[in-house]
């Protein structure tokens, strides 16, 4: 039986499916470079996930590599240097589609909760300091009918566009590095600066990795209007977090809803101290159904490798 290492414990149906074909070992924490290199030497197949270090240095450190497949648990694979993995003779896959709606739903959660100050309101109530309804108290920003600016019209960006258009009658504009159709009436805006300026609510959905690191920098944030709301459901490193904190502190933008951070799980104290943002702990794909589907897809890819078939979700 081939050996499979799953770096973090998945849900029971996923373990069961994996055990049909593999001798399974389950890890307990994110793999740093040394642990990832050792795992590459010790197992035939692996299901890694976000937080594991499969950068180029890991493959170099591993030397003699036994592992032949990295069936990533997650659509984002910026923690894997795919070129280095392929050069070392591995195949790599991810889990697209199955988490699109769950992640877009977290985008909607952040749009609504940030615009309507839900986090702040809940903190007020729980503190016991709520003084009751008042015509001027806790006023937020109207969502229905506003302009949403989506950065990245991939699967998740398209799902956010659909939900904003059909659910909230929003005008959709988007920025994408190549020409791309949107699933609803929408305008593609070539300049990121223009999109940031025109949108009432900006939602970032681009993949992470070197091509998008700090795509949203101080200059891009400066293009937003003071009433603008910024939402990130992509990867933390897409945004210059220090510049975002500066903008929130200075009030050059009205608020932010974040699900991802530059150095997870570290979230800067200055960010946590701000009232005008809603901070979630990377919940994008965190529904039971989605996490089972992601795990099953990762296992399917590992099984395809074991059976000598092409990986259905190869990257």
Active-site annotation, residues: 235, 264, 282
> Minimum distance between the CB of residue 75 and ligand DGY, rounded to whole angstroms?
4
Q: Is 54 helix (H, G, I), strand (E, B) or coil?
A: strand
Closest contact distance (angstroms) between CB of 83 and ligand DGY is 19
**How many C-beta neighbours within 10 Å does residue 108 have?**
20
Strands 2-6 and 45-47: parallel
CB of 152 to ligand DGY, least distance (A): 13
| Strand order, beta sheet including 69-71 | 22-26, 2-6, 45-47, 69-71, 91-93
CB atoms within 10 A of CB 280: 17
Residue placing its CB nearer to ligand DGY in the complex, 74 or 157: 74
Nearer to ligand DGY (CB atom), residue 254 or residue 293: 293
Least Å distance, CB 267 to ligand DGY, is 16
H or E segment and range at residue 255: strand 255-258
Site of interaction with ligand DGY (CB under 6 A)? 50, 74-76, 99, 284-285
Q: Any idea what DSSP says for residue 263?
A: B
Give alpha helix (H) positions in 21-99.
33-42, 56-62, 82-87
CB nearer ligand DGY, residue 61 or residue 267: 267
Residue closer to ligand DGY (CB basis): 257 or 284: 284
């Amino acid at each position: 039986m081939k050996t499979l290492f799953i770096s973090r414990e998945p849900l029971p149906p996923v373990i069961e499916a994996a055990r049909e074909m593999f001798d399974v070992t389950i890890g307990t924490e994110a793999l740093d470079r040394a642990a990832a290199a050792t795992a590459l030497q010790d197992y035939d197949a692996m299901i890694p996930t976000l937080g594991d270090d499969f950068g180029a240095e890991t493959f170099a450190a591993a030397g003699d590599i036994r592992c032949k497949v990295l069936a990533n648990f997650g659509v984002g694979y910026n923690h894997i240097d795919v070129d280095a993995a392929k050069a070392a003779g591995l195949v790599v896959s991810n889990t697209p589609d199955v988490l699109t709606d769950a992640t877009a739903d977290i985008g909607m959660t952040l749009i609504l909760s940030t615009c309507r100050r839900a986090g702040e309101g809940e903190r007020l109530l729980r503190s016991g300091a709520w003084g009751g309804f008042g015509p001027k108290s806790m006023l937020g920003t109207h969502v229905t009918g506003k302009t949403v600016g989506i950065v990245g019209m991939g699967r998740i960006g398209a799902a956010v566009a659909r939900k904003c258009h059909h659910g909230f009658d929003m005008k959709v504009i988007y920025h994408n590095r190549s020409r791309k159709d949107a699933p609803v009436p929408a305008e593609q805006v070539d300049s990121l600066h223009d999109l940031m300026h025109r949108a009432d609510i900006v939602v970032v959905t681009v993949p992470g990795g070197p091509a998008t690191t700090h795509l949203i920098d101080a200059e891009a944030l400066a293009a937003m209007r003071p009433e603008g709301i910024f939402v990130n459901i992509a990867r933390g490193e897409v945004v210059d977090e220090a510049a975002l904190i500066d903008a929130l502190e200075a009030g050059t933008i009205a608020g932010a809803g974040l699900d991802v951070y530059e150095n997870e799980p570290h979230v800067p104290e200055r960010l946590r101290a701000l009232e005008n943002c809603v901070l979630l702990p990377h919940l994008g794909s965190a529904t039971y159904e989605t996490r089972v589907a992601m795990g099953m897809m990762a296992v399917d890819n590992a099984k395809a490798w074991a059976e000598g078939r092409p990986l259905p979700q190869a990257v």
